[in-house]
Amino acid sequence: MLPVWMCLLSGLLAGLLPGIGTEPQIPDPLVPTPGSNCTTATLKVEFSTKVVEHEYIVSFTGYFSAKARSLYISSALRNAGGELEWHIVPRENPASDFPSDFELVHIRKASPSSLLTLEDHPCIKRVTPQRKVFRSLKYTPCETEKWQSWQSSRSFRRTSLSLGSGFWHATGRHSSRRLLRAIPRHVAQILQADVLWQMGHTGSGVKVAVFDTGLSEKHPHFKNVKERTNWTNEKTLDDGLGHGTFVAGVIASMRECQGFAPDAELHIFKVFTNNQVSYTSWFLDAFNYAILKKIDVLNLSIGGPDFMDHPFVDKVWELTANRVIMVSAIGNDGPLYGTLNNPADQMDVIGVGGIDFEDNIARFSSRGMTTWELPGGYGRVKPDIVTYGSGVRGSGMKEGCRSLSGTSVASPVVAGAVALLASTVQNRELVNPASMKQALIASARRLPGVNMFEQGHGKLDLIRAYQILNSYRPQASLYVYVLECPYMWPYCSQPIYYGGMPTIVNVTFLNGMGVTGRIVDKPIWQPYLPQNGDHIDVALSYSPVLWPWVGYMAVSISVAKKAASWEGIAQGHVMVTVASPAENDVGGELTSTIKLPIKVKIVPTPPRSKRVLWDQYHNLRYPPGYFPRDNLRMKNDPLDWNGDHIHTNFRDMYQHLRSMGYFVEVLGAPITCFDASQYGTLLMVDSEEEYFPEEITKLRRDIDNGLSLIIFSDWYNTSVMRRVKFYDENTRQWWMPDTGGANVPALNDLISVWGMAFSDGLYEGDFTLADHDMYYASGCSIARFPEDGIVIAKNLKDQGLEVLQQETAVVEAVPILGLYQTPSEGGGRIALYGDSNCIDDSHRQKDCFWLLDALLQYTSYSMTPPSLSHSHSRVAPPTGVERPLPQRLEGNHLYRYSKVLEAHLGDPKPRPLPACPHLSWAKPQPLNETAPSNLWKHQKLLSVDLDKVALPNVRAYRPQVRPLSPGESGAWDIPGGETGDTSYFMINMVQFRANCALCF
């Protein structure tokens, strides 16, 4: 076997191109239609994937010539032994003439051992099956819903973020007469791109890559298609679907529905066939070719929930490190929070959300926070920016214009604006992924009444971005937020107090000085003494190295003991110095000092009864494991990929608790790590994790001493779990759920000491409780409960029977709610409910916030709600003798993803209990001064003098277009008519200056 250094040496001799490549996943082009009760015939988009038999993608540790790649593969397979029939599959595409970081190999009768032998080669990174992805439109007549085998949802990882399937069969023509609507101006003109056009800036010299479905050669809307490349097995470069044409038109159409940068160099990457098929290898080659071609801007209107798709994330880093400005759609999973799609949620990518033409956040636009950082604390702010994505007009497949909605529309709006902005900068070396992102977010217009997890930094403002970019000097910056509500929600929704869990704010560094940077020394915490900055403690965790272009800093804020009874505002700032190697000065270094302002409201510590602790530590989600939905009706999207956080899919519940006067804190550590005497109620909702034995012991002791517990559980049934398994073509194995909707056996271990347990029953149905309409969605029942407790039962459908045998049956008196006062003196209270869907925003049909209020009245104040204690639905507590309690699924792999379990011979066993997190508080360097008034602005980036950064060289200008077709108007659709009419332009300039004078 060759050592790695010999791989590199032999690669160089065989024509190695330096660089390390990684393997991205295939973007599926559409989002599947959610399942619902069918009432009419529908046109559905269906997806499926399959492994191409005998074909494997062999990924290498670097870029090697074809000869070197063949040498390494033959050397590895020679060591595999046996008679293997194999050959390298030819790939006829533009990347074939260049070194590559992967090879496509056909291996007949491949065994697992032979594949492992391939991976053992020091120059080979991984071996994965070749995958074929295809989509289809299918006319489906209405039929009664049936439970069928689930399909792999992992094949839907990265999909086009157009909204729904209507685009694919919309004709733009209507045969019936209807009231005509006024046609709005095109999106480029609404964002004032025509101001820059009139100055002579039209995207010239900027290379824009459109990864999509291709483009026709003689489409009348485009005049500077520099290259059309075909990465498919079709013989045509034309777009047979229309999606790629629409995206390219928004970016660079030069007539009718004008794009932003009509003179930009369009590089069209056709990666899907007209039959809607793509392969992994096509995308790998296309991404590598984009790097070779030194693409400036790349639009990627795809996304998926898998932030642990490491090869894809690595490839994104590689692209941005090569100065490719990547613009990506944030996702169409709104209005639910915590639904950001990857790669738009990457720090080095410009993630774009959508708004309508009335500046309202589009309902479909995904919301933050990012959920990578859960369950330990809080995520980052995304999207970065929002722009028009609803009802936008773009180029039709052959000619004319059509409208489309979705964040995949908003993404090319920003990509086109970026291409236009880049063409306005004389020194192109100043334009990089960080500097462009800095200019966009510093110039964005704040939308009123909208929080930062919906709008990011605000609405794209093209002209302000132009002004900032053309006065730009290389520097580092932080995302800085004005502390105001509702923009700073949730941080402004609840004051902090002594004894509370630290508030965590995740901040992103942008380093416009270079692709790599470092933090000089350590960040410094400087409280302002006149503004009570010494009343708070600050701990800082940060990335010492910034790459590519970005880094992070987590700021933890707690109240000092001296302020336990104090109320007021405390302020200070964190000062950070970033250094980067100077690109042109050998041995030189650029530095930039930035300040992060901190301003918090402090109140006296609330009474114990008002403090609720949310258990975040024991919530899990996809990725990496298969954690099924809590509501089994969601068969088309079975993976529970939401963050299960109080500020994401439980946001409405959090808002309700705050309105009722409760203070909600987040526990991101084991139960052994909090002082129970500070809290009235511990709230556990939809827990999938196991519990350390020490946690179980401590919780029992805490409840004996007055802590109360509320548990909202979900279903757990091993037969149903086996039923909802699916075959994943990517890993070529069956995926079995690692838990049910909740980990009921673990919860039963937690509450068994009080004679309580949940069952493995699975129930669904509508009912009325205390004059409130309720819906039970795939919940379990209470199997055991103390005889002196209060138990409420309802008649429900046996959903487990329906799933397993397609039969319907109603079960009478299913125990679903239990209330219990523990017997110890001063002991706490326990409340159990078998379903969490009524407080979860993900698929809530009827909320039960009133029930949560009633349970908190019981646990916090020992006030038993009469509507429950005297309910006609009250039954005798179950003893659990009728059926055994649910057992953990034999052979489950929860230990692979658990923080609690570890692999062990036989059954998994608990890991050693981890130490509780102890923050290292920054040593304060107090300043005897008040906060400067400009601290709340982006330092330098917003200090732009309009008189110094005017709009120079204004002249009437019309980008050159193709010869007009017979009968086509010569007007460029700019109000005012022909090119020579400058009256409109002068009026527009006056309005622009007046508007901007109010904003800086």
Q: Is 770 left (phi over 0), alpha (psi -120 to 50) or beta?
A: left
Strand partners of residue 551: 509
Task: Phi first, then psi: give them for residue 956, nearest 5 degrees.
Answer: -65, 125
Sign of CA dihedral 243, 249, 255, 259: positive
Q: Is 243 a catalytic residue?
A: yes
User: What whole-number distance in Å separates Cα of residue 768 and Cα of residue 757?
Assistant: 24
Name, in order, each residue with C-beta under 8 angstroms of 529's C-beta and a sequence gap of 6 or more: 926, 927, 928, 929
Q: What is residue 538's three-state secondary structure?
A: strand
Helical segments of 770-870, H only: 799-805, 849-861, 866-869
User: What whole-number distance in Å separates Cα of residue 361 and Cα of residue 388?
Assistant: 9
User: What whole-number distance in Å separates Cα of residue 941 and Cα of residue 938?
Assistant: 6
Catalytic residue among 212, 333, 840, 841: 212
Contact predicate 141/167, CB 8 Å: no
User: What whole-number distance in Å separates Cα of residue 186 and Cα of residue 264?
Assistant: 18
User: What whole-number distance in Å separates Cα of residue 491 and Cα of residue 485?
Assistant: 9
- 746-751-753-759 Cα dihedral, nearest 10 degrees: -80
Query: Do you find a cis peptide bond into 343, omega within 30 degrees of 0?
Result: yes
User: What whole-number distance in Å separates Cα of residue 407 and Cα of residue 652?
Assistant: 24
Half-sphere exposure of 952 (CA within 13 A, CB side): 8
- Closest to 302 measured CA to CA, from 228, 455, 412, 396: 412
Contact predicate 274/236, CB 8 Å: yes
Contact predicate 799/719, CB 8 Å: no
In whole angstroms, how far apart are CA 519 and each of 523, 547, 941? 8, 12, 20
Q: Is 704 a catalytic residue?
A: no
User: CA angle, 884 as apex, 880 and 889 as ends, to 5°?
Assistant: 135
What is the secondary structure of 607-635 as a DSSP string? PGGGEEEEE-TT---SSSS--B-SSTT-T
User: What whole-number distance in Å separates Cα of residue 733 and Cα of residue 986?
Assistant: 66
In whole angstroms, how far apart are CA 324 and each of 71, 296, 419? 32, 5, 11
Contact predicate 374/617, CB 8 Å: no
Catalytic residue among 221, 243, 645, 843: 243
List, in sequence order, every beta strand (DSSP E) within 242-391.
Answer: 265-270, 277-279, 297-300, 302-303, 325-329, 350-355, 385-388
Contact predicate 45/30, CB 8 Å: yes
Q: What is residue 850's three-state secondary structure?
A: helix
Secondary element (H or E) of residue 292: helix 280-292
User: What whole-number distance in Å separates Cα of residue 332 and Cα of residue 453?
Assistant: 14
Helical segments of 29-111, H only: 66-78
Contact predicate 786/773, CB 8 Å: no
Catalytic residue among 408, 556, 687, 759: 408
Contact predicate 453/369, CB 8 Å: yes
Contact predicate 472/512, CB 8 Å: yes
Helix axes 433-443, 462-469, angle to 10 degrees: 130
Q: Is 212 a catalytic residue?
A: yes
User: CA angle, 13 as apex, 9 and 19 as ends, to 5°?
Assistant: 65
Q: Are strands 681-685 and 611-615 parallel, antiparallel or unpaired?
A: parallel
Read off the DSSP letter of residue 153: G
Positions marked catalytic: 212, 243, 408
